[in-house]
A and B are shown apart, each in its own frame.
Chain A
Amino acid sequence: MNDKNRITFGLIVFIAIVTFPFWYNLGKASSAPELKLSEKAKAAKECVKPKEIMRQEHMQILDLWRDTVVRDANRAYKSGSGKTFGMSLSSGEESCLGCHESKTEFCDKCHNYASVAPYCWTCHIAPEEKKPEENKPEENK
């Protein structure tokens, strides 16, 4: 006598759990999100740092900006290429969202795919998104 049936059942459950990602995604095509640069960003041509670095390190830049503004009251950032940016998440033309005008079409696309939910928006307000006119970002602090 042995407990083969019960053990086999447990093993099948275990394998089902281990292979869960394979059947969860069954028949779904996956592709990374296509990012749409806003007109303003296209005109500006360059970001704070080269694209590859932005992709990986933009949160660290934001962290640095946040600390610099709040601790040193310094709101202007000189980039490597000599351009000046406003060290702000969402206020002013030269801030992240001042240039990348649409949060949903840009930041969120990536973040949803990678499942990151920055908590910034519990305090900061993203500029209102209206397609045709250029909206001045809200003063929100």
Chain B
Amino acid sequence: MNEKYLYSLIAVIALFLLAYAGVEAAGLQYLFGIIIPYLAIITFVVGFAMRIMDWASSPVPFRIPTTCGQQKSLPWIKHNKIDNPFTGGAVVIRMILEILFFRSLFRNTKCKMNEGPRISYVWEKWLWLFSLAFHYAFLTTLIRHLRFFLEPVPFLLQILEKVDGFLQIGLPGVLISGVVLLAAVIFLLLRRILIPQIRYFSLAADFFPLFLIIGIAVSGIMMRYFTKVNIVGVKELTMGLVTFHPHIPEGIGAIFYVHVFFVSVLLAYFPFSKLMHMGGVFLSPTRNLPTNTRAYRHINPWNPEVKIHTYQAYEDDFREKMIEAGLPVEKEL
């Protein structure tokens, strides 16, 4: 056992017990159902904004994109427009492909030592595949949850639910996004635990969000398919939150408060953690800058103003003396 993931696991179990005991034994529904969610959303929004504005106040650096193709050069050398963008438009395309399809993960390879010793780089797409599955399943799940926060529920949301539940297995019908989310996050966790190199550089801060998201997914799936909660009561509570008339309806199971507490912890933890890559990906200078260093001069924004004295001015100052001394001048008297 490795203490880094043990600590994270223990932290998540402690959070579970805290919420479960808090509601079941101490009757703190108001705390876990209303106060903590409000504090969490405030922390999330304010913390997120401050983190981004902090990044925004750094000067744009010298162009440092990591490129994967031929830079714009002589006309007869084929330029890779997207992987080595020269214009703003090409950067936008590169960013869209990065953010929506994780292209840089797609390039992931595994390095292997063969006999010889010879090194080889092996096809490795699983990280890309499961990351993509994880992020899209999470997004779908998140959007689907809007049904608890909107009244009336918009038509597009109902379409999404239909598509998500189109397998029509069991009642209530299995939603694909929930299953994919849990499977993918478990893959991402096992990857960190089972591969020695990755385990070596993983920190508690890498494991904690994974365990927390597993906790969220498991509690959600428990609620929907197994232990069941009073959904109409749940919506009353959530609608109370978003219309600022919070109240606690009777008879919602403790597992719901555990779920909400996990989500609140995730939201509050978000701005202070690696999860900020959600905003950070847009600001990563190795991706969002064009490679036009050969065409445009970069002026360092914090260069001090230097008083310069050009040769022309120097000659103007001393021309007569220079001619007297027989020195060559550029401009005669």
Contact = CB atoms under 8 A, between A and B. Distances in A.
Interface of A: 1-4, 7-8, 10-11, 14-15, 18-22, 24-25, 28-33, 52, 55-57, 59-60, 62-63, 110, 112-117, 119
B239 A8 contact: no
Contacts of A24: 149-150, 242
Interface residues of B, number: 47
Interface of B: 44-45, 48-49, 52-53, 55-60, 146-147, 149-153, 157-158, 161-162, 168, 170-173, 228-233, 235-236, 239-240, 242-243, 245, 249, 251, 279, 282-283, 301
A115 B161 contact: yes
Contact of B45 (A18, A20, A21): A18
Given A10-B282, A25-B151, A28-B151, 13 more contacts: A1-B60, A2-B60, A11-B49, A11-B53, A15-B45, A21-B150, A22-B242, A28-B243, A29-B245, A52-B251, A55-B230, A55-B232, A112-B152
B245 to A, nearest CB: 8
B147 to A, nearest CB: 4
Contacts of B161: 115-117
A115 B52 contact: no
Contacts of B242: 21-22, 24-25
A117 B149 CA distance: 17
A14 B281 CA distance: 14
Interface of A is mostly: helix
13 contacts: A2-B56, A2-B59, A4-B56, A11-B279, A15-B45, A19-B45, A20-B146, A25-B151, A56-B230, A63-B171, A112-B152, A113-B232, A119-B173
Nearest to B225: A60
Contacts of A60: 171, 228
A110 B232 contact: yes
A63 B239 CA distance: 29
Nearest to A27: B243
B229 A56 contact: yes
A24 B242 CA distance: 9
A137 B325 CA distance: 121
A62 B55 CA distance: 54
A22 to B, nearest CB: 5
B283 to A, nearest CB: 7
A117 B151 contact: no
Contacts of B157: 115
Contacts of A119: 168, 173
Contacts of A56: 228-231
A84 B161 CA distance: 35
Contact of A31 (B55, B60, B236): B236
Nearest to A110: B232
B89 to A, nearest CB: 15
A123 to B, nearest CB: 12
